[in-house]
Structure 1
Amino acid sequence: MSEPAVSGSREPRPDDAEETPDAADSETDAESADAADAAGSEAATKTTGAAAVVAALESNGVETLFGVQGGAIMPVYDALGRSSLHHVTMAHEQGAAHAADAYGVVAGEPGVCLATSGPGATNLVTGIADADMDSDPVVALTGQVPTEFVGNDAFQETDTTGITTPVTKENYFAGDPDTVGDTVGEAFALAGAGRPGPTLVDLPKDVTLSETEAREATSETPEHYDPQEVPDADAVEAAARTLEDADRPLVLAGGGVVKGEASDELRAFATEHDVPVATSMPAVGTFPEDHDNSVGMIGMHGTGPANMAVTHCDTLFAVGCRFDDRLTGGVETFAPEAEVVHVDIDPAEISKNVHADVPVVGDAGTAIAAIADEMDESPDADDWREQVDDWQAEYPMTYHASEDGPIKPQFVVEAFDEATDDDAIVTTGVGQHQMWAVQFWTFTEPRTWVSSHGLGAMGYGLPAAIGARLAADDDQEVVCFDGDGSFLMTVQELSVAVRESLDITVAVLNNEYIGMVRQWQDAFFDRNRVASEYDWCPDFATLAEAFGAKGFTVDHPDDVADTVEAAMAYDGPSVVDFHIDPDENVYPMVPSGGANGKFALSEGQL
């Protein structure tokens, strides 16, 4: 083989080694060195679109994210592998979205999930829709086929932005590697600003592979997005006068109190003016349920005192509520005697479902504090407070249990509540178990109740427990209440909890039914239990052991307390299969579209 030709080569002269370079040669060498340095500097400033995506996440303080790898998102994962970010590989993309959602709820900042194109992106949709309904901050990053293939029905191509437009606060098709970092930064900023919600960035593979100039990405909301945080002075004054004149005032705290970090302002207002407080389900924990002024949760399965109070109050101070149908029952019968003072940062929610006599647009905490400062006196409502106390005594949350069994699900919830600290985090799936958990656990802190409210997504509980565990303080306990039907929808995520060595406890309230469906079939469909009976269920304790978790089975009430203690003491994921009374139902219950004040305490009253 011949030696390769060298451009500009010459024969060496004998005196080359002794020759001293002249000025011209020195200048040429210096210019070459400068050119080489410039080329090296230019190469150093080059990066890829994928690296810009990861840099944008890092600059926003992201530490943990959840996802499932795939072809179109692979360049982003390649960049993730070169970063210090902790990526949690989930078993299913729906689990990734739910975990990111719960992470955001507990941490108070956007959770991040990733998926590839096509089925990866569509599998995220349930979790994104859940976050949208509950105003939870989530950033979803999805891979997409290269831009030249978009619209050609390429392998694993879907119109991700088109599919997710109805269930995102904003979504983006990132078509330029030079701006993709800014796009991700904007999506992150927007997800947590104002009324939080999910955002999505669709990332074509050629964009994430392409080179771009390295620079710090910006993280700003769009110029057109400018939510009103400080309420108008006239609205504040009108609200203050209305509350001062009330004879039967009631505060209704909604999920916006959690999102707006307004729990302290809410507690100060209610305590100073001695006003009863009810919460919607998303707001559970914003006001301590062991406080004398707490009347509990309002709505379809709310407490008797809360539903009676909202029915008979003459002034309703609603903060951060969207007044969905599960809260109001029939809108025409909701708070029929009340002047409604409605505070919300999203003007679209004001008078959307319930007419606001005094609309106040602004941040929850800012508005509550401003109204409190404007009030010169507390409402004269001694008789009203006595009436509320009477309802508290008349309608306690109770259930009937026998020492010989079967196990009552409410007893299980109470046992876990007794065994854990006040700041323990509870996650749930959706169904009867969700209602028993919220009814019989005493919540005293915000961001400790993590559930799927507006969408009602079965299977939320276990992946949510994973996200909550990674967002929570190390010494906070995490308990997931699930039903047998809900648990089976996302049980594969137990593999993630084991792989990540996460200390979570799952309590399966197993009645071998899709329980809430069975309850409605019994009440409204002549007990025609179609597709709600689980004639066969796996042995959940054995299944847990197969995943590498600790499994327990409980069949008798006498074993509940000791098993709860053992499960909580286990350092790692544990699953307790509680075989509960299959005929137990959730009460109180307001029939769909019914009046809150006419709640049923048994099936015979429906």
Structure 2
Amino acid sequence: MSDPVSPSFDAETEAEAELEPEPGEDPSATDAEPGRTGAHSVVAALENAGAEAMFGVQGGAIMPVYDALYDSDLRHVMMAHEQAAAHAADAYGIVSGTPGVCLATSGPGATNLVTGIADADMDSDPMVALTGQVPTDFVGNDAFQETDTTGVTAPITKTNYFADHADTVGDTVGEAFAYAAAGRPGPTLVDLPKDVTQDETAVEPGDATVPDTYDPQTEADDEAVAEAARRLERAEKPVVLVGGGVIKGDATEELRAFAREYEIPVATSMPAVGAFPEDDDLSLEMVGMHGTGYANMATTHCDVMLAVGTRFDDRLTGGVDTFAPEAEVLHVDIDPAEISKNVTADVALIGDAATVLDQLDAEMERAPDCREWRSQCWTWKSEYPMDYATPDDEPLKPQFVVEAFDEATGDDTIVTTGVGQHQMWAVQYWTYTEPRTWVSSHGLGTMGYGLPAAIGAKFAADDDQQVVCFEGDGSFLMTMQELSVAVRENLDITVAVLNNEYIGMVRQWQDAFYDGRHSASEYNWCPEFEPLAEAFGAQGFTVSDYDEVADTVEAALAYDGPSVVDVRIDPAENVYPMVPSGGANGKFALSEDQL
């Protein structure tokens, strides 16, 4: 009698037969490449999307992604703090126009990104945050370094994702990248549990695409365009108000052509600085709380306002009831939620800024007859010049320093700043002629933004493009550890610390509105910034006299690597013009006694 066939043998044989590939079939299409994980799919998705550089801090839960990066050509910049990683990615996105990427581990790594994510959200900057997370089975158990990252960041992201499988994580990251840049840009986040990034997968991520359900309107309604054109044609005192959406939407060429074709004066919000050349006769420069007197007068007295890509925030409008009280408002924005949110629109033009400006241009039959209005705007320029005094018996004025750096650098120089008085002097006294050269924190107003932003901007800039960072002493202290990154990477950036030994804007408000009671605003305990810079390995300078400024600026810019200039400025100097919070833009103050 022959031996019976073993059932286990039959099962093994059958299983082996099932695993045999069909003739012509690629075995790799069904089997995972040995060692290929969800983390490799994350990296492949970024490569497919066209990412080039990213900024982050290593840690336990994000470690699989960093291990996959080891074999990638993607440039990773290790930052000293996660908040700085987010700011660097934000600035990279502003300058490049493509999403910046930041990475952090779970728990405190993810929460340290929150300030930078919120900053990008307020300013509609394209950014992708990738955060490590505890393994899926541990989620909800208060595991070591666990945080509900998607819950924490839901209010401050365009959208966020919790990755749940190694097979799909790559496409999720690709979608997050595409979505961050589409329509109205903004930050997205993908939370990556460690088991998802460690598990093996045979699935290759596809191209980065937005969700099928996302289809922002790009062309404005034809009837609305016609109505807006007719109102512009009969305007006697028109103004174009430019918001940051013009730069985000790459609509600066269309804006410039439209304004010049119809000879309409142009005012910009702070995020839009550089969208229209400030040396153009039609430029009124920045409007709002610390805008020029002539921009605030023009927007107050105009009869038709073409507002493009602006959300009409309170620092722009002052009191909404007194903002452009005589104007018909024609509001162009790709986000319908912004229409009539703060300022009521008489005509809503929902669509992409460049497309809608082209539509308006095609519809316009003639330019408005506004020669007298342009003459009035030029008169206001002469009545309210942006000048300042430099008495010999007073310390160095910060405006002089900003102008000295501007004169010594090219038109395409990128300026980054922290937040405070130095930010206002940098935007007021530098002449901006190109888009994506002004990089700052607007809606969130984040102190410490300037130095990490300079690092991100430098990685996005052209090889021969200079980067100058203006910081205040208080703002610089918040992220100065990133000098170590600038030195390690040998980045040719120049930091000018406008040092008045105060949180200057707070001190200015305390003098104006709190009877000069300087509660917690004095910073006379700051370190010496020149030796501090040199301790990091950067080149340090100190300047306090007018006759030292030109040579110091030249030396700092000429240094091949990061340099820091400690500029000892007049501690009593204030930022003017100034519109008190909630005040009328047309009643701006030029001195403290006018507040």
The residue identity in structure 1 corresponding to 2:298 is: A
Higher mean displacement: 149-158 or 215-224: 215-224
Look up the match of 1:579.
568
Question: Secondary structure of 1:318's match?
Answer: strand
Q: Distance in 2 between matches of 1:211 and 1:564?
A: 54
Q: Which runs of 5+ in 1 are unaligned?
A: 1-27
Residue pair 2:30, 2:202 contacting (<8 A) in 1 also:
no
Residue from 513, 516, 534 that aligns with 1:527: 516
Deviations 1:266-287 (A, max 9, x none): 1001101000000000000000
Alignment of 1:421-460 (within 5 A): 421-460=410-449
Look up the match of 2:527.
538
Residue pair 1:404, 1:556 contacting (<8 A) in 2 also:
no
Look up the match of 1:557.
546
1:320 aligns with 2:272: no
Residue pair 1:425, 1:450 contacting (<8 A) in 2 also:
yes
Shift of residue 47 of structure 1? 2.0
Look up the match of 1:475.
464
Residue from 196, 210, 213 that aligns with 2:199: 210
Q: CA RMSD in A?
A: 1.7
Residue from 66, 71, 83 that aligns with 2:55: 66
The residue identity in structure 2 corresponding to 1:164 is: T
Alignment of 1:120-131 (within 5 A): 120-131=109-120
Deviations 1:301-326 (A, max 9, x none): 00000000000000000000000000
Alignment of 1:114-513 (within 5 A): 114-403=103-392, 405-513=394-502
Q: Distance in 2 between matches of 1:571 and 1:336?
A: 52
Q: Distance in 2 between matches of 1:325 and 1:94?
A: 26
Residue pair 2:33, 2:202 contacting (<8 A) in 1 also:
no
Shift of residue 535 of structure 1? 2.4
Shift of residue 372 of structure 1? 1.0
Deviations 1:202-224 (A, max 9, x none): 00000000011132323111122
Q: Distance in 2 between matches of 1:32 and 1:484?
A: 67
Look up the match of 1:569.
558
Q: Distance in 2 between matches of 1:37 and 1:228?
A: 43
Residue pair 2:278, 2:285 contacting (<8 A) in 1 also:
yes
Shift of residue 386 of structure 1? 1.0
Deviations 1:121-176 (A, max 9, x none): 00000000000000000000000000000000000000000000000000000011
Deviations 1:545-604 (A, max 9, x none): 000000000021110010000000000000000000000000000000000000000000
1:133–1:41 CA distance, 2 compared to 1 (3 A): closer
Q: Distance in 1 between matches of 2:227 and 2:121?
A: 32
Q: Which runs of 5+ in 2 are unaligned?
A: 1-16
Question: Secondary structure of 2:219's match?
Answer: coil
Residue pair 1:405, 1:556 contacting (<8 A) in 2 also:
no
> Taking structure 1 as the reference length, what is the TM-score of the superposition?
0.93
The residue identity in structure 2 corresponding to 1:514 is: I
Question: Secondary structure of 1:213's match?
Answer: coil
Q: Distance in 1 between matches of 2:566 and 2:112?
A: 28
Look up the match of 2:72.
83
Larger Rg: 1
Higher mean displacement: 381-390 or 473-482: 381-390
The residue identity in structure 1 corresponding to 2:203 is: A
Question: Secondary structure of 1:212's match?
Answer: coil
Deviations 1:179-230 (A, max 9, x none): 0001000000000000000000000000000011132323111122110011
The residue identity in structure 1 corresponding to 2:342 is: N
Q: Distance in 1 between matches of 2:24 and 2:301?
A: 82
Q: Distance in 2 between matches of 1:556 and 1:45?
A: 65
Higher mean displacement: 78-87 or 337-346: 78-87
Q: Distance in 1 between matches of 2:440 and 2:510?
A: 24
Residue pair 2:32, 2:200 contacting (<8 A) in 1 also:
no
Q: Distance in 2 between matches of 1:134 and 1:111?
A: 14
Shift of residue 430 of structure 1? 0.0
Q: Distance in 1 between matches of 2:373 and 2:130?
A: 51
> Taking structure 2 as the reference length, what is the TM-score of the superposition?
0.95
Question: Secondary structure of 2:571's match?
Answer: coil
Shift of residue 369 of structure 1? 1.1
